[in-house]
Structure 1
Amino acid sequence: MARRPTVYDVAERAGVSITTVSFAFHQPERVRAQTRQTVIDAARELGYVPSGNARGLARGRTGALGLYAFDLMISDADAGAPADVPGEEDVADLDPRTFPLYVDEVERGFALECHEGGRTLLLASGAPNGSAVYDIAGRVDGLAIFPGTHSLDAVRSIARSIPLVAFSTPPMDTSVSHVSVDNRAGMVRVVEHLWTAHGVRDIAFVGDGALYDFRERLEGFREAMAFRAAGAVEPAGREGLTTADWAASLADLVASDRLPAALVCQSDQVALVVLDLLAESGVDVPGRVRVTGFDGILAGRLSRPTLTTVRQPFEQMGRLAARLLAARVANPRGEPEFSVLPTRLLARESCGCG
């Protein structure tokens, strides 16, 4: 590749100063239209591209925001060690529903906000707790991260240098902004809908409740059941469905015909697996058992039956995170924020709604 042309080359070709070249690209109102066109023509002839990094170095900023997401296909690897990345033939065999599809939708909102605000977006992903998060943090003015990508020590370390927003995590540090949704209220709506619209009383929660979002949903379920049942029905977990072995426990319930009337799943991905398991066993949904999810990913609309779920405002979450980062970049002394966005119930076929 030939040497990259510089601002000096453009200035020489256009017969102007380097200051005029800089103004032509970054403050065009300060340059006569004819002169600016001369500069642009010279740049085009030379293949010159203004360096955003150089401008950033001059003012201590890059002009970019970063978004770091976990990649379920990359295994944990120590710094300097190669990650175990599957080949294309392995990828083709994976169930696409195992991918964190909600991350893609949040990313879209983040990208739209960056575009509309004139900011560069840098994306990165890696294994949970991997070192790649530190690499992207050194290249951006602010960084948004998803749960499962970092340790608390990593978060606190990064937040000392640049503004940081964490999605769907508890308020862990006063130096970090947070964007989450009202998981408890969303789960309460699910229980209320099953209870009032369908007259269902025997309801079980499905999932291990490991992540922050899932724990919040489990707590919301238990609160709603306690309020509705007034202690008449044991909370979820009585059948062993709130453990990491929930799939095996559910298979046992199917085999012994001891299924509850409704299965409230901690996420859409869990609900889709539940639907598969029930379909393979010939269990009618929603005739024999009603199933609900949580998140509102696209796969739930394409399942058969279509999945009743609680929709997170993914695009709004991404946009809000980008705005919070931009505000902190503009005002480093500003206070981090903890934002909780509302959710909405989408009643579909899997619970018995049309």
Structure 2
Amino acid sequence: MAQRTTVYDVAERAGVSIATVSHTFRQPERVRPETRELVLQAARVLGYVPSGSARGLAKGRSQALGLYAFDMFLPSDLSAPALDLDTLVAKELDGLGDVRRFPLYVDEIQRGFELEARRLGRSVMLGSGASRDSLGSIDLAGSVDGLAIFPGGAARDLLEHVGRGVPVVIFSSPPMHDPLHHITVSNEDAVRELVDHLIGQHGHRTLVFLGELAAPDIGARFAGFQAALAAHGLPVPDEPFDTTALTRDSLRSLRAAITAGDLPDALVCATDQLALTVIDLLARHGIRVPDDVAVTGFDGIIAGRLSDPTLTTVRQPFASMGRLAVRILTDTAAGLSHPTSYVLPTRMVIGRSCGCR
């Protein structure tokens, strides 16, 4: 590998000091135009690229923002066999890709994050880790002015440790009494509206909730489900009907209900990905949605609009969440204050899976 061109090489070729080279890139107004052109010409000839980390050290800031995910991939992606590039390209060109795996809600938030960062002249560094105790977020935090995190199962003390060094925003996290910033949506109210629709518009009387409660936003959705049933005078369960995760052995309670021929009127799923998996399972057993059972989701990913039937769900403002995170991080890094928590609105999206035509 060729040795990287340094500031000393540029200075020697241009016949100037290294301080002049440094000023040309960091504070060009301090360098005479003719001298600046000499330095830039030498840099072009030598292929010199100034170090972003060095500029950050000089300014006390990196001008970069970080976006970190604690293993947000689907199990089906992680367990997929390794394929050579030609096979991967052929499968994609044949239309065999699954829109359910991309874009996910993390991808849509990332797009909003990157767009707002670009608008503000900031670069974006991405990181990920499989462990709840992963130190990757700490390493990334040392290179950026602020860090947005999809927390997954991240340990709270780890997140607070990172937050002592740089501003931190956590997505899909409810307000908490800590120094971190939180962005979430009105999960409880959204599910209450969804249940009100299933009961009031379609007359369903037996409704169950499916979803794993480990994530705080899913817990809030289940609380909204419970509150809605109570408001309608229906029995309120203490826990979800199926605390499933998207694995090969998932949906055991639902499978048992199918086998017993004892399905409820409506299945309220914690996410769209889960709802689409449920619809597939029901179809394999000859159970029609929504004729035999209604199914709803939550998130509003593109796959739900393309499914058959189209999915009744709750849409989150993903791109706005990403943009808001960038504004919080840049303002906080600049010494401006922001509320520690934001709860954004949602919108119910009516498809055919609930029984609407």
Normalising TM by the smaller chain, what interval? 0.7 to 0.9
In structure 2, C-alpha distance between the alignment counterparts of 1:288 and 1:60, rounded to whole Å: 62
Q: Measure how far apart 1:208 and its partner are.
A: 3.0
In structure 1, C-alpha distance between the alignment counterparts of 2:302 and 2:165, rounded to whole Å: 36
Q: Cα distance 1:28–1:196, how it changes in 2: closer, same or farther (>3 A)?
A: farther
Residue aligned with 1:195, SS = helix
- Among 121, 128, 149, which residue is 1:118 paired with? 121
The number of aligned residues is: 341
Superposed CA deviations along residues 154-183 of structure 1, whole A, max 9, x for unmatched, are: 012111111111111233443101111110
In structure 2, C-alpha distance between the alignment counterparts of 1:297 and 1:274, rounded to whole Å: 16
TM-score by length of 2: 0.85
Which has the higher mean CA deviation after the structures are superposed, 55-64 or 102-111?
55-64
Partner of 2:303: 299
Superposed CA deviations along residues 176-213 of structure 1, whole A, max 9, x for unmatched, are: 01111110111122112223333333322222323101
Q: Which amino acid aligns with 1:47?
A: G
Partner of 1:78: none
In structure 2, C-alpha distance between the alignment counterparts of 1:132 and 1:162, rounded to whole Å: 15
Q: Measure how far apart 1:216 and its partner are.
A: 0.4
In structure 2, C-alpha distance between the alignment counterparts of 1:142 and 1:249, rounded to whole Å: 42
Percent of aligned pairs sharing the same letter: 52
Aligned counterparts, 1:1-354, within 5 A:
1-31=1-31, 35-72=35-72, 88-89=82-83, 97=100, 101-129=104-132, 130-227=134-231, 229=232, 231=233, 233-236=234-237, 241-244=241-244, 247-331=251-335, 334=337, 337-354=340-357
In structure 2, C-alpha distance between the alignment counterparts of 1:277 and 1:212, rounded to whole Å: 26
Superposed CA deviations along residues 97-118 of structure 1, whole A, max 9, x for unmatched, are: 4678211111111111111111
In structure 2, C-alpha distance between the alignment counterparts of 1:252 and 1:99, rounded to whole Å: 30
**Structure 2, unaligned stretches of length 5 or more?**
none
Q: Which amino acid aligns with 1:169?
A: S
Do the aligned residues in 2 keep the contact of 1:175 with 1:336 (CA within 8 Å)? no
Q: Cα distance 1:277–1:87, how it changes in 2: closer, same or farther (>3 A)?
A: closer
In structure 1, C-alpha distance between the alignment counterparts of 2:16 and 2:197, rounded to whole Å: 71
Q: Which amino acid aligns with 2:287?
A: V
TM-score by length of 1: 0.86
Do the aligned residues in 2 keep the contact of 1:141 with 1:329 (CA within 8 Å)? yes
The CA RMSD over aligned residues, in Å, is 2.9
Do the aligned residues in 2 keep the contact of 1:300 with 1:307 (CA within 8 Å)? yes
